[in-house]
Structure 1
Amino acid sequence: MENKPQSQNFTEGVSRREVWSWAMFDFANSGYTTVVITAIFNAYFVAVVAGNEDWGTFAWTASLAASYMLIILTAPALGAYADAYAMKKPLLFMTTIGCIVFTALLFFIGPGDLWLAVTLIILTNFFFGTGENLIAAFLPELAKSQSLGKVSGWGWGLGYLGGLVSLGCSLAYVTWAQDQGYEANQYVPVTMLITAAIFAIASTPTFLYLKERAQPQPHLSGRRIIRESFSRLRDTLKHVRHYQDLMRFLLCLVFYQAGIQTVIALAAIYAQQAMGFNTQETMLLVLLVNITAALGAFTFGHIQDKLGHLTTIGLTLVGWMIMILLAWYADDRAMFWLAANIAGLCLGASQSAGRALVGLFSPSSRRAEFFGLWGLAVKLSSILGPLTYGWVSWVSRGDHRLAMLITGSYFIIGLLILVRIDVSRGRQAALHEPTDI
């Protein structure tokens, strides 16, 4: 992409090429979530690795929960360290390599390899989630406050296109492999190599052109790195009342993201177990959902700065509730396809608006740290929602419809908290950061 003059949407010194390179990381890492977490490996884990046992779905959600717990324990300190030492980009590079390597190692997973699969999923998802926090922390450095939603939407939209590329390549291979008479344990592992390779190639522009603009901050003398990072985190939590709208939104985020993360982690499992889809049909479904998700992210990204981030999120939460009811009630594939594409539109819009709102509420000196808190909230929801679904499906002996219906309660709770947030007050708190923090 040509390095054209600065746009009015970007901060001083930021070029279009740099913003594109930042958004390309969303393009790169979305292949992981689309292929491994949403469309292929999750259903393969339950049907092949776990042998379609009733506990298979719970084992999958428990593996994800363990990885998210690791992120929760490390993200705040990593964010504080990245702020204090201006190390977002080096840390992002290390997490990217980790996710790529362990995703490629999923190639070796076959029937019965339960504990190896669990270990590798925990590692891949840990590195993915940590990198997701770090790349998000660059957003307020690139976009002006009035354009955070638009630029965030570009990233999410490009991300869904990246998911389409990885899933499309995997679908082409799976279709060929099935025509050759291959079984799932022969062709699914190859899709892990495809996903890892695309992640590596597509993330390259990020490390070539994205700049680390943050400056190292004064360090607390006589303390080790980890102790210093936790000290900064304790300081932030001590002054949490000053950022009451940010904290309230993070609580809101925990609940509505619990529903979103459940849909992301269990979409293919629900399609196969409740609706009778095969692997190829499931991949095609997720492929089309990624198209609607990209449209949702691009469309709402351009209008949410005018419509308002809270209004955008509120509308999408209503959409999520409608989607849950349709998926629960669906007795034919047409209604389920409709529900899935509503989920796609809401997914792109709600993810983009949520990230932009955190950027709006974050003081400039603590962006990585506050995006670490954002990541912590999302990861907590990623434990809460999928584990609830997995547990309900287990104790109900495989009633995935009941598990999906219960998931809808998280969107209702999120909406009730959302109406108590004041964007203007939250933005003023970020602009007038207390000097004693």
Structure 2
Amino acid sequence: MALFPPSALNAGVRKREVFGWAMYDFANSGYTTVVITAVFAAYFVGGIAKGAPWAAFAWTAALSASYAVVMLSMPAIGAWADRRAAKKRVLVVATVGCVVATAALAFTPRVAGPMGVAVAMALIIVSNTFYSYGESLTGAFLPELATAEGMGKVSGWGWSFGYVGGMLALGLCLAYVLSAQAKGLPASHFVPVTMLITAAIYGAAASATFALLPERAQPRTASSAVGAWQQLRATFRQARAHRDFMQLLVCTVCYQGGVAVAITLAAIYAEQVIGFVASETMVLIFVLNIAAALGAFGFGYVQDRIGHKISLAGTLVAWIAVCVIAAMATTKGTFWWAAAIAGLAMGSSQSAGRAMTGYLAPPRQLAEFFGLWTFATRLASIVGPLMFGAITWAASGNQRIAILSTAALFIAGLLLLLPIDMARGREAAQRSR
């Protein structure tokens, strides 16, 4: 069976273009895997902030600030990029911004005291903001490459390739960390090197995207920033014409809030509740990425066969099971089962959500509608972790109650998914040509 049957790609799209597009998923996954999940998060709390009671809150506050910036700016940036046919140009700027800010994190251990905390938080805000811009813009290329019948396959292939990139970055970092620890070197020595490794992989892999992925859109009209905001307001006024897309956004806020908990707090939960040590946590995240890659790749083909909606529903049921198992786990072995299911669900649910967005987005407003999708995912990234933190605080530090409560986000997402009519939503998108 061919990786991409003729029906999967739009006319004139070459496989090298799809490879170039997927290389961006490969490039940016190392950032979330190493910086946000496995390495820098724990170092910020224990190393830079010295384990202060407010350290975890400061970390989530920095992430939330970046998500707020993206929520308020990305839809307008997307509208501007659509009008100017400038998705690729803006993607280059976002990539350079994230790579430079990630590399700059290597110098944060040299800044002592409160200033060190402030500098680290500022760089996280900058790097995560540019990362989010890049994620949204690369998603907007998907409908230009894939047909409606092949969108799940292509999205899943790209997302699974992204997890391979995350594993490469984490694997190289883990090898260096283990070597440094064997020599008795402190985290203040090896964490900066992992930031440089991550930035280098991001920049190098993204270069393939810039070389192979063309900008297929054509400029429509000259546009100012005011015009972009006017277009954004017009998009919201069109909500009735795109009600299934808007319903998907609300659904996305709920279930992606739960996914955000897994991404930003899995390592903390594993170490503080289950008893993992740092090296075990990195191995856990590495294996989780393997499962996520398999889930995204394999489920993309299933998604095109059984339908986007049913596919996403199945992944949400799996996420509910993950929350229950993780909350009940008392041994590392049991938690490994939860992590394996979470990996499969993570890759497939994120790929399915992106494919559904591309399926329901009007062809002439791809970057703008993916900007709205980014708005929803970043709002979810604020709501989910903050809810987890608030429940943990209210439960006197009991994270088991918080992780079990996270299941409510996936249940809400499942209920909000049910009314979506994919055929009606696709028809509305095509009428907007």
TM range (shorter): over 0.9
Question: Percent sequence identity over matched residues?
Answer: 50
Q: Which residue of 1 aligns with 2:377?
A: 378
Q: Which runs of 5+ in 1 are unaligned?
A: none
Q: Which residue of 2 aligns with 1:191?
A: 194
Q: Work out whether residues 271 and 281 of structure 2, in 8 Å CA contact, stay in contact via their aligned partners in 1.
A: yes
Cα 1:184/1:276, change in 2 over 3 Å: farther
How far off is 1:267 after superposition? Answer: 1.1
Q: Work out whether residues 6 and 16 of structure 1, in 8 Å CA contact, stay in contact via their aligned partners in 2.
A: no
> What is the alpha-carbon distance in structure 1 between the residues aligned to residue 351 and residue 199 of structure 2?
24
Q: Which residue of 2 aligns with 1:114?
A: 117
Note if 1:148 corresponds to 2:115.
Answer: no
Q: Which residue of 2 aligns with 1:344?
A: 343
SS in 1 for 2:34: helix
How far off is 1:6 after superposition? Answer: 9.2
Which residue identity does 2:267 align to in structure 1?
A
Q: Which runs of 5+ in 2 are unaligned?
A: none
The one-character-per-residue Cα deviations of 1:340-374 (angstroms, maximum 9, x if unpaired) are: 11100000100111000011101111011000000
1:199-278 correspondence runs (5 A): 199-219=202-222, 225-278=224-277
SS in 2 for 1:356: helix
> What is the alpha-carbon distance in structure 1 between the residues aligned to residue 309 and residue 42 of structure 2?
34
How far off is 1:392 after superposition? Answer: 2.9
Cα 1:6/1:404, change in 2 over 3 Å: closer
How far off is 1:303 after superposition? Answer: 1.1
> What is the alpha-carbon distance in structure 2 between the residues aligned to residue 276 and residue 116 of structure 1?
30
The one-character-per-residue Cα deviations of 1:55-86 (angstroms, maximum 9, x if unpaired) are: 22222111110000000111011000000000
Which residue identity does 2:322 align to in structure 1?
M
Could you tell which deviates more after superposition, 388-397 or 66-75?
A: 388-397
TM-score (norm 1): 0.95
Which residue identity does 2:76 align to in structure 1?
A
Note if 1:407 corresponds to 2:410.
Answer: no
> What is the alpha-carbon distance in structure 2 between the residues aligned to residue 376 and residue 335 of structure 1?
35
Cα 1:312/1:422, change in 2 over 3 Å: same
Q: Which residue of 2 aligns with 1:301?
A: 300
Which residue identity does 1:43 align to in structure 2?
A
Q: Work out whether residues 43 and 272 of structure 1, in 8 Å CA contact, stay in contact via their aligned partners in 2.
A: no
SS in 1 for 2:7: coil
The one-character-per-residue Cα deviations of 1:215-257 (angstroms, maximum 9, x if unpaired) are: 11134xxxx6110001111111111100000000110000000
> What is the alpha-carbon distance in structure 1 between the residues aligned to residue 45 and residue 394 of structure 2?
16
Q: Which residue of 1 aligns with 2:160?
A: 157
How far off is 1:398 after superposition? Answer: 3.1
Which residue identity does 1:15 align to in structure 2?
R
> What is the alpha-carbon distance in structure 2 between the residues aligned to residue 401 and residue 58 of structure 1?
18
SS in 2 for 1:203: helix
Equivalent of residue 141 in structure 2, options 138, 152, 167: 138
Q: Work out whether residues 157 and 293 of structure 1, in 8 Å CA contact, stay in contact via their aligned partners in 2.
A: yes
Q: Work out whether residues 292 and 345 of structure 1, in 8 Å CA contact, stay in contact via their aligned partners in 2.
A: yes
SS in 2 for 1:240: coil
Which residue identity does 1:210 align to in structure 2?
L
Equivalent of residue 176 in structure 1, options 176, 179, 182: 179
> What is the alpha-carbon distance in structure 2 between the residues aligned to residue 54 and residue 397 of structure 1?
13
Q: Work out whether residues 276 and 332 of structure 2, in 8 Å CA contact, stay in contact via their aligned partners in 1.
A: no
> What is the alpha-carbon distance in structure 1 between the residues aligned to residue 407 and residue 413 of structure 2?
10
How far off is 1:9 after superposition? Answer: 1.6
SS in 1 for 2:419: coil
Which residue identity does 2:203 align to in structure 1?
A
Give the length in aligned residue pairs: 427
1:35-184 correspondence runs (5 A): 35-110=34-109, 112=113, 113-184=116-187
Q: Work out whether residues 391 and 401 of structure 2, in 8 Å CA contact, stay in contact via their aligned partners in 1.
A: yes
